[in-house]
Structure 1
Amino acid sequence: MEFLITNELSILRWIHILAMVYWLGGEWGVFQTSYNVTNRNLNLDERRRHMETAYRIDILARTGIVLLLPLGLHMGKLYGFVPFLEGAGVWWMWLFFAVWLAMTWAAFIKRQTDIGITITKVEEFLRYPLIALLFIVAFMAFGGNGPVETGEGNFWYPAKIALYAFALIIGLFLRVVMRRWTARFQVLAQGPNAAEEAALEKEIAQARIAAYIYWITISGVCFLGAVKPF
């Protein structure tokens, strides 16, 4: 226990790096698998198998992106940037994100059912106020106000929060695309459908463009955390 307390920041930083690796690597795996999901030369069962692989890879990326925020806030508390988390505040914060992570995994486990789709939609809906709150908190911090206390030389922290919020927006779009896979494949299982195939290909083409922006954004988050340039 003494070791954990003494090395609390180092351990959190280590887990933070792991979460970032799974986030970045997982998104690359889903990106590559999507080519076979839309490949009309493959039979539907084969494409379903690739879709299943994509979901299994993506859950690690989703876990990573959910964990990054509480890890960052916890480290922010230790740096002195987030004083409102002192005392019991940090435990309430972890409880909130534990519920969020539980919803993410429940949606994954039940992904082929109506309840799984419902949980996914609820989890997606909850991201909207969270994203707005993160942007507000970040921009308030640049002005020297709000719950995040930073100053000259430490503006990398609110910048990282803002960039993470932007990444959540892109991730939200990519999640919607993946959720639609299940519905479209249910239609395709009933027989060939050119309209569904075209919609699937269009959505994934858009998602691939978003993925490139996603990787640049993730790299930016990594850079701010590692270099702390301003």
Structure 2
Amino acid sequence: MDLALFTLLHLLVFVYWLGGDLGVFYSSTILTNPKQPAAARIAAAQVLAQVDMAPRTAMILTLPTGLTLAALKGWLILGPFSLALIWTFGLIWLVLAWVLHLRHVGPTSLARRADLAIRWAMIAVLAILALNLWPQAPALPLFLKAKCAILAATILCGLLIRRALVRFGPAFGRLVQEGASPEVDQEIARALDESRPLVVTIWLLLLAAAFLGLAKPL
């Protein structure tokens, strides 16, 4: 029963991550289309911001659901207490992500810096698992190590997307306050165009992770 439940949860994580990203991508094409009226582009940005929480939530839940599955299938030795700690950490991180979304805190806030630190820490932990640097890592199947590396890469891509979108906020603010103009349109398009290759990279990484989970090569 537990195995079926966590398998379903892990599958839903993949579905909502990839599906949400596709919705965000489509919304961004409306946002960058200068032929659309400013009101439609602003509405698209609002939809984008809300839909984007689906892949953000899914990404955070990937690790606790994945590690729980690995423990249930005997690929990783984790007792109930360790799993409880992992889920507690994941849920705290998830609450933090939603607080950042709902309260729109600034980039220099403590909450924003804590979220950034968690993401870098997760990249490091996943790299340790993937590279056999943790005592239990050699016992992990090769495909599971590869999935750890893929998740680390997706988190890194997310951080790079944030950097690419630094100019988007001020440009979008001008769109709201001043309306569309060639200069504003160019800034918005440039910021989103820089992020799109990274988004496509995440899609490819997710597909690779899904294939590894199904094929389970040694």
Q: TM-score, normalised by structure 1?
A: 0.84
User: For 1:189, what is the secondary structure of its paired residue?
Assistant: helix
Partner in structure 2 of residue 12 of structure 1: 6
CA distance in 1, matches of 2:38, 2:114: 29
CA distance in 1, matches of 2:82, 2:100: 28
User: For 2:120, what is the secondary structure of its paired residue?
Assistant: helix
User: For 2:67, what is the secondary structure of its paired residue?
Assistant: helix
Paired residue type of 2:130: A
Match of 1:110 among 82, 103, 112: 103
Partner in structure 1 of residue 136 of structure 2: 147
Question: Structure 1 residue 79: deviation in Å?
Answer: 2.5
Q: 2:44 matched to 1:55?
A: no
Partner in structure 1 of residue 201 of structure 2: 213
CA distance in 2, matches of 1:184, 1:207: 15
Partner in structure 2 of residue 137 of structure 1: 129
CA distance in 2, matches of 1:132, 1:28: 28
Partner in structure 2 of residue 3 of structure 1: none
CA distance in 2, matches of 1:196, 1:129: 36
Partner in structure 2 of residue 161 of structure 1: 148
**Residue 16 of structure 2 contacts residue 55 of structure 2 at CA under 8 Å; is this kept in 1?**
yes
Question: Structure 1 residue 58: deviation in Å?
Answer: 1.0
Paired residue type of 1:108: H
Unpaired runs of 5+ in structure 1?
1-6
**Residue 34 of structure 1 contacts residue 51 of structure 1 at CA under 8 Å; is this kept in 2?**
yes
Paired residue type of 2:215: V
CA distance in 1, matches of 2:183, 2:2: 54
Partner in structure 1 of residue 116 of structure 2: 124
User: For 1:131, what is the secondary structure of its paired residue?
Assistant: helix
CA distance in 2, matches of 1:45, 1:13: 42
Q: 2:62 matched to 1:68?
A: yes
**Residue 137 of structure 1 contacts residue 146 of structure 1 at CA under 8 Å; is this kept in 2?**
no
Unpaired runs of 5+ in structure 2?
none
Paired residue type of 2:37: N
CA distance in 2, matches of 1:114, 1:48: 20
Question: Structure 1 residue 222: deviation in Å?
Answer: 0.3
How many residues are aligned here?
A: 217
Partner in structure 2 of residue 95 of structure 1: 88
**Residue 143 of structure 2 contacts residue 217 of structure 2 at CA under 8 Å; is this kept in 1?**
yes
